[in-house]
Amino acid sequence: MARPLTATIDLEAILYNYRYAKKLQPTCKAFAVVKSNAYGHGAIEVSRYLDDEVDAFAVAAIEEAMSLREAGVKSPILLLEGVFEEDEWHLCEKHGFWSALENAQQLEALTHSKVSIEKVFLKLDSGMHRLGVDKDTAPPFVTALKNSGQVGEVVLMTHFACADDLSDSATLDQLAYFERTRQSLGEPIEASVANSAAIMKWQVPEGGWIRPGIMLYGISPFSEVSGRSIGLRPAMTLSSKVISTRSLRKGDHVGYGLGYVAPEDHVLATVAVGYGDGYPRHAENGTPLQIKGHLASLAGRVSMDMITVRTEEGDVPQMGDEVVLWGGEVPVEDVARHAGTIGYELVTRMTARPHYRYLFGEENA
């Protein structure tokens, strides 16, 4: 019998969430952001499924774009971090990739390469201070790109630092800086500013390109609420089975470091999942999960391959019982909170070890 840990990915849910993003910003075209293995959901499977629907995909870098092309994905693909070496511009031309451009070296490599690129997204540093040119440097960059004769269209893009915090005015400051810069360019230029949080809650420029990532996977960009509660359909269910049970006496200690002490007599279930699969090692005692549809909680330190779990009073776990680690009634956002992190990190650091099972629309009907 195979180890029973399975990540079930509902592709139809991802398509639904993509359409939902477009409905929220109906004047915009939308990337499907599938970097980092589609946030752990499987970039090739997700991109093949969405290929006929999306306006374009976005990945971090050329390796990710190449693996999608090699898998037969046809839509345009944007490199969000741009190129690292001049050779990559040649690959962009050959494979129809679009690229972000954020510094003088990338511009110089582009002009030197003499390739033709359909779209370049000039990245403006509007306040996050991570990547991009400033408002004074943007106009000469746009002029250089246009005068090069190598670029079909220049889009001005930026990224928000605090869009997930609705009480923080930094997003409004970034938007104002972006619009001032855009106007200073003297001619109309498309905009691309919005990640999931901005798509869902902020007023962003009409037209242009939105860049939904986490919301595609049904996960909330806002740490205090679940994806489902804001209209998204969670795409991943991580499930396993009970592989052992035992009766504990009050005061018995459990697991590495003997970090859980039974507060009374109860049954303990051992479940096949651990940090070697992507389940967070820092999940604390009490982290929620479900056994056979009933709420249960982590009891003891997470091992590489196993966790130990306590059921609610009256529920006696049996060998082979179905366990949901997240997905369904167990929001990944809740698990993340108990592990001191965010849903983004939990799904993105999934390893190759679980079985991955893909559900297509017909199977869900």
Ligand X SMILES: Cc1ncc(COP(=O)(O)O)c(C=O)c1O
Tokens 């650091």, residue located? 349
Q: Which two tokens stand for residue 200?
A: 């869902």
Give the residue with the Cβ less far from ligand X, 21 or 117. Answer: 21
3-class secondary-structure state, position 258: helix
Residue 84: partners with Cβ closer than 8 Å, 6 or more residues away: 61, 62
Q: For residues 53-65, b (16+ Cβ closer than 10 Å) or e, as one string?
A: ebebbbbbbbebb
Candidates 74, 94, 250, 256; catalytic one: 256
Task: Say whether 119 is catalytic.
Answer: no
Q: Distance (Å, rounded) from C-alpha 290 to C-alpha 59?
A: 34
Residue 255: CB minimum distance to ligand X, A: 34
Question: Which element (helix H / strand E) includes 345?
Answer: helix 343-348
Give the residue with the Cβ less far from ligand X, 197 or 248. Answer: 197
Determine if residue 246 is labeled as part of a ligand binding site: no
Q: For residues 20-42, b (16+ Cβ closer than 10 Å) or e, as one string?
A: bbbebbeebebbbbbbbbbbbbb
Decide if 100 contacts 123 (C-beta within 8 A): yes
Q: For residues 257-294, b (16+ Cβ closer than 10 Å) or e, as one string?
A: eeebebeeebbbbbbbbbbbbbbbeebebebbbbbeee
Residue 219: CB minimum distance to ligand X, A: 9
Candidates 22, 35, 123, 241; catalytic one: 35
For residue 97, CA distances in Å to 19, 69, 92, 158, 233 come to 23, 10, 4, 19, 29
Determine if residue 310 is labeled as part of a ligand binding site: no
Task: Say whether 279 is catalytic.
Answer: no
Number of other residues whose CB lies within 10 A of the CB of residue 218: 28
Residue 132: CB minimum distance to ligand X, A: 10
Residue 188: CB minimum distance to ligand X, A: 22
Give the residue with the Cβ less far from ligand X, 192 or 270. Answer: 192
- Interface residues with ligand X (CB under 6 A) are 33, 80, 159, 195-197, 211-215, 221
Give the residue with the Cβ less far from ligand X, 311 or 348. Answer: 348
Residue 116: CB minimum distance to ligand X, A: 24
Give the residue with the Cβ less far from ligand X, 317 or 343. Answer: 343
The residue of the chain with the least Cβ separation from ligand X equals 213
The catalytic residues are 35, 256
Residues at the binding site for substrate are 130, 304
| Binding region | 130, 304
